[in-house]
A = this chain, B = another copy of it.
Amino acid sequence: MTDVEAIFEPKTVVLIGSNIIREKVGMASPQLFRDVTYNMRKFFQGKIYVIDLHGKTKNNNVDKLPEIPQLAAIMLPPEQSIIQAEKCAKIGVKALVMITGGYKNNQRESLLKLREKYGIRILGPNTIMGVINTFNGLNTTFERNVMPKKGNISVISQSGGVGACLLDWACFYRIGISKFAFMGDKIDVDDVDLLHYLSKDEETKVICLYMEGIKNGRNFIEEARKIVKKKPVLVLKGGITHESALRAQSHTASMSGSDEIFNAAFKKAGIIRVENIEELMDAALALSKQPPMYGDNVAIVSNVGGPAILTADAVARNNLKLAALSEKTKKKIESLYHGVDATNPIDIIADARAERYRKVLKLVFEDENVDGIIIVNMLKSCFFEPEDAKVIPEIAAKYTGKPVVDVPAGGEDFALVHEVLGESTIPLYNLPEKAVKALKVLRTYGKIHEKH
């Protein structure tokens, strides 16, 4: 086990806090300590030790434990945290997750010296939420019972708030997560280390990164460039203007350069940049479930006319193309269903049920002029029932080379179809524009694949 692996895959963890110390700025509090302990006891499948600095037991000292933990999560004010961190380092703990913040520069330096002296790896400080690994139940967050479902998307966040928002989003929309890491001030373990770890992690298929700045740009780009051959890397970057970049600097003590430099660097590395939290999750969902798209030609199969037109508009806005279906495909569809005009976007009319979708989709998948498919299946104003949606993963399973995304457009319509298809291989979006953007990301990754 490398030392960064110990952050995510420890067999034994020690939690170090205090049931007394309450502090405003850095968030250390008895409540935080209790909540992290609660989550770890509830979810973690390994061995847990809890050291309460002000507990009643005498041997509340890390060097009195019956074994040496591989990971320590420390949630005390800076000074006490550093003392505990050194104790851990001395006995051979492999890695530290420093939850709390409020560190001054000299305190960060003291912490970093432990890394230099003992080789211990340090995540944070100021990680706030620490780490999650859905595969072994490791969860050092203090939001009780907040645990995303198991999946293959991993997230690295420099910001506690953005990370918490991504976590909340993933839980609420039941997006499958593998690892979550909150980098905080990243005095030691940084984007490059985490990218490297996740690139080797078999349970990670897509890597999402929220960053405000970077310390070693060249290493980062080189690492990413290697990874994107195997796995897509998505980045949301905060601090695009001078003003907000300044804010980011005071926020996570990171250097930030001009936005154009980042853009160029991301492009060079084959990193896909997104603009907001929803786009990040939408793109990750598509990449985690569907293959890249190798061509620009999109077919739209819809049971409603207007939303099909909005989908076609979004295809144009995203510089994709409406596939020109072969005459053979068109004729077959039109001979099967009188009244259906099989010009793309194909409106298969409001009374379409599973069977019509199955037959039309089969023909569209087999058309060589089609590189990717967007399905629109509304319930409102249509005859389509949520159960009908099961036909989509069934038929898609036979044509695994072309990506497909589904749009049960709307509020309740989306929720009802999500009940049926949420766990399937088909990514779902509540509006055409989001589905098209997701397909565009699959196309972008297809191009990166071709290039790298």
The interface of chain A, by Cβ under 8 A from chain B, is: 24-25, 27, 128-129, 142-143, 146, 157-165, 167-173, 210, 212, 236, 238-241, 243-244, 247-248, 250-252, 275-278, 302-310, 312-314, 316-317, 322, 339, 341, 343, 345, 347, 349-351, 378, 380-382, 409-413, 415, 430-433
**Chain B residues near A162 (CB, 8 Å)?**
304, 306-307, 310
Q: Which of A157, A241, A303, A343 has the most CB of B within 10 A?
A: A241
Inter-subunit contact A345/B244 (CB<8 Å): yes
Kindly identify which residue among B165, B247, B322 contacts A312, using a CB–CB cutoff of 8 Å.
B247
**Chain B residues near A158 (CB, 8 Å)?**
306
Kindly identify which residue among B306, B409, B433 contacts A275, using a CB–CB cutoff of 8 Å.
B433
15 additional contacts (CB under 8 A) given A165-B410, A168-B409:
A160-B304, A160-B306, A161-B378, A167-B380, A168-B378, A168-B413, A212-B306, A212-B309, A236-B310, A239-B313, A241-B316, A251-B306, A276-B431, A277-B431, A278-B430
Kindly identify which residue among B347, B378, B433 contacts A276, using a CB–CB cutoff of 8 Å.
B433
Chain B residue, CB-CB nearest to A244? B312
- Bound-state Cα–Cα, A170 to B167, Å: 26
With A161-B305, A172-B411 already in contact, the answer to whether A241 and B433 are too (CB < 8 A) is no
**Chain B residues near A251 (CB, 8 Å)?**
305-306, 309, 347
Inter-subunit contact B431/A161 (CB<8 Å): no
Inter-subunit contact B159/A306 (CB<8 Å): yes
Inter-subunit contact A411/B171 (CB<8 Å): yes
A-B contact pairs, 10 of them (CB 8 A): A24-B339, A27-B351, A159-B309, A160-B305, A160-B350, A165-B410, A168-B411, A168-B413, A244-B309, A278-B433
Inter-subunit contact A247/B309 (CB<8 Å): yes
Could you say how many copies of this chain the assembly holds?
2
**Chain B residues near A431 (CB, 8 Å)?**
276-278
**Chain B residues near A322 (CB, 8 Å)?**
243-244
The 6 closest A-B pairs by CB, nearest first: A172-B411, A159-B306, A161-B304, A164-B381, A168-B410, A162-B306
**Chain B residues near A351 (CB, 8 Å)?**
24, 27
Inter-subunit contact A168/B25 (CB<8 Å): no
Inter-subunit contact B248/A381 (CB<8 Å): no
- Bound-state Cα–Cα, A433 to B146, Å: 25
Inter-subunit contact B380/A172 (CB<8 Å): no
Q: How far is the CB of A349 from chain B (nearest CB, A)?
A: 7
Q: Which of A27, A165, A339 has the most CB of B within 10 A?
A: A165
Inter-subunit contact A313/B173 (CB<8 Å): no
- Bound-state Cα–Cα, A143 to B410, Å: 14
**Chain B residues near A210 (CB, 8 Å)?**
306
With A309-B247, A380-B167, A412-B172 already in contact, the answer to whether A25 and B276 are too (CB < 8 A) is no
Inter-subunit contact A349/B25 (CB<8 Å): yes
Inter-subunit contact A164/B378 (CB<8 Å): yes
- Bound-state Cα–Cα, A179 to B314, Å: 28
**Chain B residues near A381 (CB, 8 Å)?**
128-129, 142-143, 160-161, 163-164
Kindly identify which residue among B164, B173, B306, B382 contacts A157, using a CB–CB cutoff of 8 Å.
B306
Chain B residue, CB-CB nearest to A310? B238
- Bound-state Cα–Cα, A410 to B173, Å: 10
Q: How far is the CB of A235 from chain B (nearest CB, A)?
A: 13
**Chain B residues near A382 (CB, 8 Å)?**
161, 164
- Bound-state Cα–Cα, A275 to B129, Å: 36
Inter-subunit contact A316/B240 (CB<8 Å): yes
Inter-subunit contact A169/B410 (CB<8 Å): yes
- Bound-state Cα–Cα, A55 to B334, Å: 36
Q: How far is the CB of A48 from chain B (nearest CB, A)?
A: 22
With A244-B312, A312-B243, A410-B168 already in contact, the answer to whether A159 and B415 are too (CB < 8 A) is no
Inter-subunit contact B25/A304 (CB<8 Å): no
